[in-house]
């Protein structure tokens, strides 16, 4: 299976190049899928990514996205649902100079 999508700045709508997109296996019933396994890729200059996954549909998988000057994003993946993502990241408070 492959998940793909777009990473963008939620405040401006501009694509984010160089964001790290990774999936983490939280739990699997299958021995060949190791818990704690991590696979990652980065978004290209248009903010697009493609990430091949070796998982089973019963596995508990989390998707995490990180980029410099942005708050990280994480969600549990529904392996039965859509495999296309459009993820908007919020500029982090430290990067924008806002008070906590």
Q: In this predicted structure, what is the pLDDT of residue 82?
A: 59
Tally of domains within the chain? 1
Phi, psi angles (nearest 5°) of residue 89: -95, 145
Q: In this predicted structure, what is the pLDDT of residue 29?
A: 59
Only one residue has tokens 């549909």, namely 57
Instruction: List the Cα angle 49/78/47 in 5-degree steps.
Output: 15
How long is the chain? 100
| Structural domain boundaries, residue 39 | 2-96
Q: In this predicted structure, what is the pLDDT of residue 46?
A: 98
Q: In this predicted structure, what is the pLDDT of residue 90?
A: 94
- What is the radius of gyration, based on Cα positions, of the chain? 14
**For every one of its 100 residues, what pLDDT tens digit does the chain have, with 9 covering 90 and above?**
788 999 999 999 999 999 999 987 776 655 655 555 668 899 999 999 998 876 666 677 788 999 999 999 998 877 666 568 899 999 987 554 444 4
Q: CA–CA separation, 86 vs 100, rounded Å?
A: 27
Q: CA–CA separation, 68 vs 16, rounded Å?
A: 10
Cα–Cα distances (Å) from 15 to 19, 23, 38, in that order, read 10, 20, 24
Domain with residue 27: its CATH number is 2.60.40.1120
């Amino acid at each position: 299976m492959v998940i793909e999508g777009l990473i963008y700045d939620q405040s401006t709508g501009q694509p984010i190049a160089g964001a790290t997109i990774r999936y983490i296996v939280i739990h699997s019933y299958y021995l060949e899928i190791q818990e704690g396994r991590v696979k990652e890729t980065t978004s290209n200059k248009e903010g697009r990514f493609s990430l091949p996954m070796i998982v089973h549909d019963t596995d508990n998988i989390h998707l995490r996205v990180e980029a410099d000057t942005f708050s990280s994003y994480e969600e549990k993946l529904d392996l039965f649902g859509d495999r296309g993502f459009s993820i908007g990241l919020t500029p982090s408070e430290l990067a924008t100079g806002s008070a906590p």
